[in-house]
Amino acid sequence: MRLENLTPKASFQAAPGAQGWSGEALTFDLKAPPTLSIKPGNPSGMTISWNAISGCTYNLQYKANLATAAWITNAITDIVATNTTVSHTDNPGTNRHRIYRVRLKEPSIGN
């Protein structure tokens, strides 16, 4: 068995009688962070791909300079994974130098 095929789990169980807690255990599947792959695409763009969880929503963010504190988070529409790999082609225009990161968006509670 290869180590990357394992799915670690974390559990939490509140103490008996804990205030505001119904007592059921919470279990979380912990997934490895995405690994980004960036390849030149068409003459004005590049393709960014990463491993994903099907059905989850991702936000691809970028900045042009590591010294800049803020990431540009709303220029690329959120992407819903339909498979275990996601790809997006970005066309940065004349600013061909970008640093990318991908964030898994938290699901809405109650949906």
Ordered by start, the domain boundaries in the chain are: 32-104
CATH class of 32-104: mainly beta
Q: Which residues contact 25 (CB under 8 A, 6 or more apart)?
A: 11, 12, 13
Q: For the whole model, what pTM was predicted?
A: 0.65
Predicted confidence (pLDDT) per residue in 48-77, tens digit? 999 998 888 999 999 988 898 999 888 888
DSSP 53: -
**Per-residue pLDDT tens digits for 21-41:** 555 665 656 667 778 888 887
Average pLDDT over the chain reads 76
Using DSSP bridges, classify how beta strands 46-51 and 36-40 pair: parallel, antiparallel or unpaired: antiparallel
Q: Do the bridges between strand 9-12 and strand 79-80 make them parallel or antiparallel, or are there none, so unpaired? A: unpaired
Compute the distance between CA of residue 8 and CA of residue 84 in angstroms, rounded to an integer: 18
Give the percent of the chain with pLDDT over 90: 20
**Quick check: 39 and 89 in contact, CB under 8 A?**
no
